[in-house]
Amino acid sequence: MTESRSLHDNVFIFQIPGCTYQSCFVAGLIAENPSGMHYDPLMRLLLVEDEIDIQSFLRSSLEEAGYQVEAAADGKTAERLAVDGQFDILIVDLGLPDQDGISLIFKLRQMGLHAPVLILSARRSVDDRVRGLEQGGDDYLTKPFALAELLARLRNLLKRNSPSGTEATRLRVLDLELDLLRREATRSGELLQLTTQEFVLLEFLCRNAGRVVTRSMILDQVWGMRIQPDTNVVDVHIYRLRGKVDGLGQQPLIRTLRGVGYVLKDR
Amino acid sequence: MSSKTAKPVMRSAAWRISLWATLAFACGTLLVFIFLHRFVAGDIQRRSDAWLSGEVEVLGDVAERTPKNALYDRVVGEVAELAGKEVPNKDLTENRSNDSVFFLQTGSDGSLKLWVGAGSGESHLKAIEGTKIVPDRPTDLDVRGFEFPFRVASIRINDGSFIYLGLSERDELRVLRSLRLKFFLLWLLLVLLGFGIVFFTTRRMLSHVREIAEAASRIGHSDLTARVPTTKRNDEVSHLALTLNRMLDRIESSMHQLHTITDSLAHDLRSPLTAIRGKLEVSLSAVTQIEQAEPIVSVIEELDRLTDFLNKSLDVAEAKADALRLNRVPVDLDELLRIMIDLYEPSMSEKGLLIRLQSSGALTIEADAALLHRMIANLFDNELKHVPAACTINLRLSTEDDAASFIMEDDGPGFDPEVLSHLFERRVRGKESNGHGLGLAFVDAVTRAHGGAVTAGNRESGGAQIAVTFPLLANEQSRAPMAAMRGAS
């Protein structure tokens, strides 16, 4: 990283992945929840991953994030578990010892499984069949990944799969307000002079208020690219945005989590 | 492909083959006809000569035996006239007075003694006197006032006078002329027919070859599962198709092997990377002191760099073996560059760099979007890292012939002359570079995989220039719906 010192003025240490999720949940009930949805405190998740190391850290992180996790190390176990338990969401690794992850997903779909699937792939190219599944409402993530991104993608899948309410036209995070129709943002009632791109970036942060977003998530969602620049391009955007949103004497909202990403404070 | 079908017939191989084959055929048949003509002409000549020789002998006999009295002229004259009615090759359609035969007897002093035929016979006698006519051998005789020559046979009878029997070659020549006309029409018909047959058969045969070539070119780099069409016939063309397909089998299997190797390598390296990264993130979340977090964060960043390096080197390795898998979709280069500039502009202006784009609007190519994004990001990263402050970066996007041309120029110090000649090789980097030396090799690999080309060098006025061209696979038709979509959204 070649981040300049000035970008580090707002560093704090990433607490626990689960904590950010929980705080959002609480915020969602009390304050205006930007995503406009309510989470069941115990989402049931089936994790199909044969690498024991990966399975164990994923299980612990997901449990901390509030999921009730069942894990399977092969396709057969996964099939058995999927029949017995009602799962809200699945994480399936493509390289299973006994069968191909995609065949497993097709088999589970035939068995009447409707829950969305997040596909994990260590392969180089994204299989056409994965693309097909992606169009069908599932999502994929290539290894290695950031935990925050995994959690964000899971949330997105659950949100897509839940009955959607009316799309909000305003987002509010503490004293920051975004008018999505007029594409205007105000902080404590004062209009912020944002460029189009800055507004899109701020909107993305607001929609994920209280949760960590990684640089690759920002690049994917705001600029529509899955790239890994080895320069600090995203940081400079955030730094500029922070300069406009967090004025003098105001409570800083945008925080940098070194090595992880950014978070927009929601309390 | 449309340009191939629009190619004029005259430039096709079938046309050229047919032309040469027809030329040979025409020469051959022409020789045959010339030979036939000569044979027929000789035969006609022989027949009329035989008739002349026979008749002149008969007439000589008659003239010898007929007493030389007042009736002599009438007897010999009537015999001569009768003979004239049995002329060979006679044109029966013409019912004119019989002027094709003449009978002439000269006295021993060479004066005209007896004449049977059209006219007075004086001009014939003059012509005979002017030509040396050997008895018993028919000779050609040109007579003034007659269009066609005569064939004349003569005999000397015992009273010292000569008998000449002449037959006009008019009918003979007419027969030959009509024969020539028929031969010519027949020859023309044969040649045209031959040309037609040769042209259509070669075109049919070569159309198989063209189908094979088109199918083979469609198979390209990324899709190796397709095969060229084969025919059931056991000829050279079907052998060609079978050989091509066998070759494709072998290429596909070696590509498959390469993919298996890179895939398993990627898998075997990425799984531990995932586990390490995950564990680091978990331990980072348990840390409360910023000093303790620092090393973990830097390890995570190193891991991400390592992952990027792994991805790029496998991509470069596959591209070097022409085995990079592409998922082609229409990509608007103009739009992509504008998004990239939007992304990189703040970092560049932070560093005091100015970036400008010169483009004449939407320019769509068929490309693998993810690879193209990474490639362009790579070029931008390079500029951001290596060009010093207060420089200008110029981007030019244009269409040149059948290619999209993208040129990136700056007025910085340019490339290190030491590395200039092998910029696109792996692990080549400038002295001050802290990258892994894959950047331009990756750019080169992606461009080549798309059938394009990259050149890099230093401008005369200073600064580096990188020029990338991509073939314009997308034509106007595929560009239109894209524009419509953009307009609708």
pTM: 0.64
pLDDT, position B393:
93
CB contact under 8 A, B267 and A260: no
Task: With beta carbons under 8 A apart, name residues in chain B contacting A237.
Answer: 343, 346
Q: How far is B225 from chain A (nearest CA, A)?
A: 15
Residues of chain A with CATH 1.10.10.10: 5-36+168-264
In which residue are the tokens 């000789």 written?
B42
pLDDT, position B221:
52
Distance from C-alpha of B345 to C-alpha of B395, rounded to nearest angstrom? 13
CB contact under 8 A, A57 and B311: no
Q: Is residue B401 domain-shared with residue B358, that is, in the same domain?
A: yes
Q: Quick check: B154 and B163 in contact, CB under 8 A?
A: yes
Among B303, B347, B384, select the one facing A144 at the smallest CB separation.
B303
B51 Cβ partners below 8 Å, 6+ apart? B86, B87, B88, B167
Average pLDDT for chain B: 82
Q: State which CATH number among 1.20.1250.20, 1.10.10.10, 3.10.20.30, 3.90.550.10 fits the domain covering A5-36+168-264.
A: 1.10.10.10
Q: Which pairing describes strands A117-121 and A139-142: parallel, antiparallel, or unpaired?
A: parallel
pLDDT, position B125:
83
Provide, rounded to the nearest whole percent, the portion of chain A with pLDDT above 90.
Answer: 29
pLDDT, position B88:
61
Q: Which element (helix H / strand E) includes B355?
A: strand B354-359
Average pLDDT over residues A28-36: 35
Tell which of B290, B320, B350 closes a domain.
B320
Length of chain A: 267
Q: Which two tokens stand for residue B123?
A: 């001009």
Q: Quick check: B416 and B378 in contact, CB under 8 A?
A: no
pLDDT, position B352:
92
Q: What is the pLDDT of residues B197-222, one digit of tens each?
A: 999 988 888 888 888 888 877 776 55
Q: Give the residue from A60, A266, A39 showing the smallest Cα distance to A154.
A: A39
CB contact under 8 A, A231 and B384: yes
CB contact under 8 A, B286 and A17: no
Tell which of B134, B155, B176 closes a domain.
B176
Q: Quick check: B174 and B182 in contact, CB under 8 A?
A: no
Distance from C-alpha of B256 to C-alpha of B364, rounded to nearest angstrom? 31
Residue A58: pLDDT band by 50, 70, 90 thresholds? Answer: very high
Average pLDDT over residues B134-143: 81
B131 Cβ partners below 8 Å, 6+ apart? B139, B141
Q: Is the pLDDT of residue B192 over 90?
A: yes
Q: Is residue B144 domain-shared with residue B22, that is, in the same domain?
A: yes
Top-confidence residue, A117 or B69: A117
Among A123, A144, A231, select the one facing B273 at the smallest CB separation.
A144
Q: Which of B:75-104 have CB within 8 Å of A?
A: none
Q: What is the pLDDT of residues A70-80, one digit of tens each?
A: 999 999 999 99
**Domain at B388, CATH number:** 3.30.565.10
CB contact under 8 A, B274 and A259: no
A141 Rama sector, left if φ>0, alpha if ψ -120 to 50, beta otherwise: beta
Q: Is residue B410 domain-shared with residue B282, that is, in the same domain?
A: no
What CA dihedral angle connects A207, A213, A219 and A221, to 10 degrees? -30
Q: Quick check: A212 and A218 in contact, CB under 8 A?
A: no
Q: How far is B391 from chain A (nearest CA, A)?
A: 18
Q: Is residue B258 domain-shared with residue B353, that is, in the same domain?
A: no
Q: Give the residue from B324, B366, B340 showing the smallest Cα distance to B474.
A: B366
Query: B197 lies in a domain?
Result: no
B114 Rama sector, left if φ>0, alpha if ψ -120 to 50, beta otherwise: beta
Among B307, B311, B381, select the one facing A229 at the smallest CB separation.
B381
Distance from C-alpha of A92 to C-alpha of A90, rounded to nearest angstrom? 6
Q: How many CB pairs under 8 A join A and B?
A: 134
Task: With beta carbons under 8 A apart, name residues in chain B contacting A73.
Answer: none
Number of other residues whose CB lies within 10 A of the CB of residue A88: 21
Structural Rg of chain B based on CA atoms: 48
Q: Tell me whether B311 touches chain A (CB under 8 Å).
A: yes
What CA dihedral angle connects A22, A28, A30 and A36, to 10 degrees? -170
pLDDT, position B336:
94
Q: Is residue B77 domain-shared with residue B54, that is, in the same domain?
A: yes
CB contact under 8 A, B346 and A233: yes
Q: Which element (helix H / strand E) includes B329?
A: strand B328-332
CB contact under 8 A, B308 and A125: no
Q: What is the pLDDT of residues A100-110, one digit of tens each?
A: 888 898 888 88
Task: With beta carbons under 8 A apart, name residues in chain B contacting A219.
Answer: 343
Top-confidence residue, B70 or A201: A201
**Which of B304, B348, B436 is the best mutation test for A, with the most CBs of A within 10 A?**
B304
Tell which of B320, B346, B366 closes a domain.
B320
The domain made up of A43-161 has a fold known as: Rossmann fold (3.40.50)
pLDDT, position B338:
94
Q: Which pairing describes strands B364-368 and A176-179: parallel, antiparallel, or unpaired?
A: unpaired
HEC-encoded secondary structure of A200-247: HHHHHHHHCCCCEECHHHHHHHHCCCCCCCCCCHHHHHHHHHHHHHCC
Q: Is residue B313 domain-shared with residue B333, that is, in the same domain?
A: no
**Which of B291, B347, B436 is the best mutation test for A, with the most CBs of A within 10 A?**
B347
Query: B412 lies in a domain?
Result: yes
Q: Which two tokens stand for residue B277?
A: 């990264």
- Helix-helix angle B236-286:B290-320, to 10 degrees: 180
Give the bridge partners for B296, in sequence order. none
Q: Is residue B28 domain-shared with residue B137, that is, in the same domain?
A: yes
Which structural domain range is residue B405 located in? Answer: 328-488
Q: What is the pLDDT of residues A112-171, one digit of tens each?
A: 888 899 999 887 666 666 766 766 668 888 888 888 889 988 988 888 777 655 667 888
Q: Is residue B85 domain-shared with residue B153, that is, in the same domain?
A: yes
Distance from C-alpha of B21 to C-alpha of B441, rounded to nearest angstrom? 52
Could you report the predicted ipTM of this complex, rounded to two decimals?
Answer: 0.77
Distance from C-alpha of B313 to C-alpha of B309, rounded to nearest angstrom? 6
A38 Rama sector, left if φ>0, alpha if ψ -120 to 50, beta otherwise: beta
Residue B340: pLDDT band by 50, 70, 90 thresholds? Answer: very high
Q: Which of B:448-477 have CB within 8 Å of A?
A: none
Provide, rounded to the nearest whole percent, the portion of chain A with pLDDT above 70.
Answer: 78
CB contact under 8 A, A236 and B350: yes
Q: How far is CA B358 from CA B270, B394, B398, B454, B483, in A?
A: 40, 8, 8, 19, 20
Long-range contacts of B26-33 (CB under 8 A, 24+ apart): B26/B187, B26/B191, B26/B194, B29/B187, B29/B190, B29/B191, B30/B187, B33/B183, B33/B186, B33/B187
Q: What is the pLDDT of residues B412-470, one digit of tens each?
A: 888 887 777 777 776 555 555 555 567 788 898 899 888 889 998 888 888 889 999 99
B90 Rama sector, left if φ>0, alpha if ψ -120 to 50, beta otherwise: beta
Q: Is the pLDDT of residue A4 over 60?
A: no
Q: How far is B405 from chain A (nearest CA, A)?
A: 22
Q: Is the pLDDT of residue B40 over 50?
A: yes
Average pLDDT over residues B390-398: 93
Q: Tell me whether B249 touches chain A (CB under 8 Å).
A: no
Q: Tell me whether B321 touches chain A (CB under 8 Å).
A: no
Q: Which of B:371-410 have CB within 8 Å of A?
A: 373-374, 377, 380-381, 384-385
Top-confidence residue, A259 or B253: B253
Q: Is residue B100 domain-shared with residue B171, that is, in the same domain?
A: yes
Residue A62: pLDDT band by 50, 70, 90 thresholds? Answer: very high
Q: Quick check: B464 and B410 in contact, CB under 8 A?
A: yes
DSSP letters, B447-485, are HHHTT-EEEEEE-TTSSEEEEEEEE--S-HHHHHHHHHH
CB contact under 8 A, B304 and A126: no
CB contact under 8 A, B284 and A11: no
Give the CB-side neighbour count of residue A41, counting CA atoms within 13 A: 3
Distance from C-alpha of B294 to C-alpha of B292, rounded to nearest angstrom? 6
Q: Give the residue from A172, A204, A176 showing the smallest Cα distance to A190.
A: A176
With b for 16 or more beta-carbon neighbours within 10 A and e for fewer, the B123-145 pattern comes to: ebbebbeeeebeeeebbebebee
Residue A9: pLDDT band by 50, 70, 90 thresholds? Answer: very low
Query: B303 lies in a domain?
Result: yes
Among B266, B293, B303, select the one facing A124 at the smallest CB separation.
B266
- Alpha helix locations (H) across B287-438? 290-320, 333-350, 369-386
Q: Tell me whether B433 touches chain A (CB under 8 Å).
A: no
Give the count of domains, chain B: 3
